[in-house]
Amino acid sequence: MKYLYFSILLAFLFACTSMQKTANQSSTAAKKAVEDSGKKNVIFILSDDHRYDFMGFMGKVPFLETPNMDRIAKEGAHIKNAFVSTSLCSPSRASILTGQYTHHHAVVDNQSLVPDSAVFFPSYLQKGGYETAYIGKWHMGEHHDDPRPGFDYWASFKGQGNYFNPSMNVNGERVEYKDSSYVSDVLTKYALEFMDNRSKDKPFFMYLSHKAVHADFKPAPRHHGKYANEKITYPPTMFPPGHERATVDTSEYNYKDVPNWVKAQRHSWHGVDYMYHNQIKFDDFYKLYCETLLALDESIGEVLDYLEENGLMENTIVFYMGDNGFSFGEHGLIDKRQAYEESMRVPLLAMGKGFVPAASKVEEVIQNIDIAPTILDLADIETPENMDGASFVPLLKGQDMDWKDTIYYEYFWERPFPQTPTVHAIRTDRYKYIRYHGIWDINELYDLQNDPQEMNNLIRNPEYTKLSEELRNKLFDWIEGTGGGQMLLKRDKGRRFDHRYRGTY
């Protein structure tokens, strides 16, 4: 009887071992098939309102720690000159997904619906054999969280969502979180679950879209107060010469040639003298932003660790990007929307072992419209003709290629935030020309090489008259050549966030 028992046990153990061996062989074969196809897995991680220089390795904020962003820059590439074509959440996110300028995809503000004709680039990946996932903030006008076309796996929330206890739509099913669940951690959980449960015989694409670090900034409890005692350095354009709060030498700040709308906005919802109607102090605002970044950085680290632990790092390209920049006192402003560097410039990192050279730097200007063509290129899919962007894969590999040295920017006036006018801008590798539409005010011209903080508007300097005309003509050539000359009017919705019109519609 004892012999029979041990015989059965040995047979069972042998069967289990054989099954595990077969499963491992099957998994290895599936992984090899994906690798042999030459198609890279791609992970695109997007943050909200993260400005380009608030990463530890940049040294802008001495106390800020972002070890996982730093790791991507160390083991991969830092795209130093990355920009958005519109510095606003919904338009920028639509540009990333469609590869189009705002005046093409028509998502001109945070309320506009995505046109039915829009095709998001993951749809092309699906047709190319990829399994696709969207996890996190969508926020393109439609304030529902139903699954969108192009994604096999879906985990999202309505509108801006909440930092704590999010209400999630997971593949069409409602999941309510409690017990102070933090949104960055929740989204990371879904990202890891997708990678764990995906089909192992197909390449995958995962779009992880964080709510952080959108205002109102709310750090995870484990990070709250971490930077409370740190000292902040204000930018030289935060206060005009002679201002009672000026703490740096502002003698080089040409305040007389600052546009009137910028001066007026200082004392408004998006200005440092009356920010959010005095609901929060600037220093607290700044520190909470930095603390909220920490859980986002940890999320990146968890994704990288998963790839490492599961043998996926060799065949996966990871991108990290912000959907737009954010001003912290520059020109007396907070928030985004303007065409100043802090607003239109974003962090962009890329990592892929054996593909992206370690510690490399891409100096060329890249825009959000270039993301879709680049990821499609990694999947060996041609860029659709309706996309405005282009693939920068050779630049990621450290190779030379013909590439643009000029980018274009557009922002359309919003009734809820009337302080900022319609803006068009052109930026070369040295100069930036900013044009304002519909207001009686001064335009702007900056020599970014000699004036990187945009302290001296040269528009009235007669020595730069010819250059201004050339850049303005080039800007209008782009507007007219790409069909951007139409005024896209949208139905008014919501209150105006300006103290002079508070409570009106």
Bridge partner list, 446: 432
User: Which residue has 């590798």 as its token pair?
Assistant: 429
Tokens of 7: 């015989």
Segment 380-400, tens digit of pLDDT: 999 999 999 999 999 999 999
Based on DSSP, count helices (H) and strands (E) in the chain, helices before strands. Answer: 12, 17
pLDDT reported for residue 141:
74
pLDDT reported for residue 504:
47
pLDDT reported for residue 488:
76
- CA separation for the pair 253, 240 (Å, rounded): 7
Is residue 283 pLDDT above 50, yes or no? yes
Instruction: Delineate the domains of the chain, giving CATH numbers in brackets.
Output: 38-500 (3.40.720.10)
- Structure-model confidence comparison of residues 211 and 27, the more confident one: 211
3-state SS string for 250-271? CCCCCHHHCCHHHHHHCCCCCE
pLDDT reported for residue 11:
56
Is residue 249 pLDDT above 90, yes or no? no
Segment 72-87, tens digit of pLDDT: 999 999 999 999 999 9
Q: What is the largest CA-CA distance in the chain?
A: 105
Segment 340-374, tens digit of pLDDT: 999 999 999 999 999 999 999 999 999 999 999 99
In terms of Cα–Cα distance, which of 319, 323, 108 is closest to 212? 323
pLDDT reported for residue 399:
97
pLDDT reported for residue 246:
76
- CA separation for the pair 176, 167 (Å, rounded): 5
Segment 435-459, tens digit of pLDDT: 999 999 999 999 999 999 999 999 9
Residue 93 binned pLDDT confidence (cut-offs 50, 70, 90): very high
Mean pLDDT of 468-496: 87
CA separation, residue 208 to residues 126, 132, 135, 328, 339 (Å): 17, 11, 5, 26, 27
pLDDT reported for residue 86:
98
Contact between 485 and 479 under an 8 Å Cβ cutoff? The reply is yes
Segment 251-281, tens digit of pLDDT: 789 999 999 999 999 999 999 999 999 999 9
**C-alpha dihedral over 351, 354, 358, 364, to 10 degrees?**
-70
- Structure-model confidence comparison of residues 405 and 496, the more confident one: 405
443 conformational bin, left if phi > 0, alpha if psi -120 to 50, beta if neither: beta
Contact between 464 and 458 under an 8 Å Cβ cutoff? The reply is yes
Residue 498 binned pLDDT confidence (cut-offs 50, 70, 90): low
Segment 298-344, tens digit of pLDDT: 999 999 999 999 999 999 999 999 999 999 999 999 999 999 999 99
Mean pLDDT of 174-203: 97
**C-alpha dihedral over 174, 176, 181, 184, to 10 degrees?**
20
Q: How far apart are the first and last CA of the chain?
A: 87
User: Any idea what the Cα angle at residue 40 is, between residues 35 and 42, rounded to 5°?
Assistant: 140
Spatial CB neighbours of 430, under 8 Å, sequence gap ≥ 6: 447, 448, 449
- CA separation for the pair 271, 344 (Å, rounded): 17
Task: Determine if the pTM surpasses 0.85.
Answer: yes
Task: Give the strand pairing for 348-351 and 316-322.
Answer: antiparallel
Segment 227-236, tens digit of pLDDT: 999 999 999 9
How many whole angstroms from its chain centre is CA 429? 22
- Structure-model confidence comparison of residues 37 and 292, the more confident one: 292
**Average confidence score pLDDT of the chain:** 92
Mean pLDDT of 235-242: 92
Count the alpha carbons within 13 Å of 257 in the hemisphere toward its beta carbon. Answer: 15
Bridge partner list, 333: 271
Segment 397-418, tens digit of pLDDT: 999 999 999 999 999 999 889 9
- CA separation for the pair 6, 16 (Å, rounded): 15
pLDDT reported for residue 497:
66
- CA separation for the pair 432, 209 (Å, rounded): 30
CA separation, residue 266 to residues 93, 124, 233, 240, 315 (Å): 28, 45, 19, 11, 49
In terms of Cα–Cα distance, which of 293, 161, 154 is closest to 220? 293
User: Which residue has 């919802």 as its token pair?
Assistant: 269
pLDDT reported for residue 23:
45
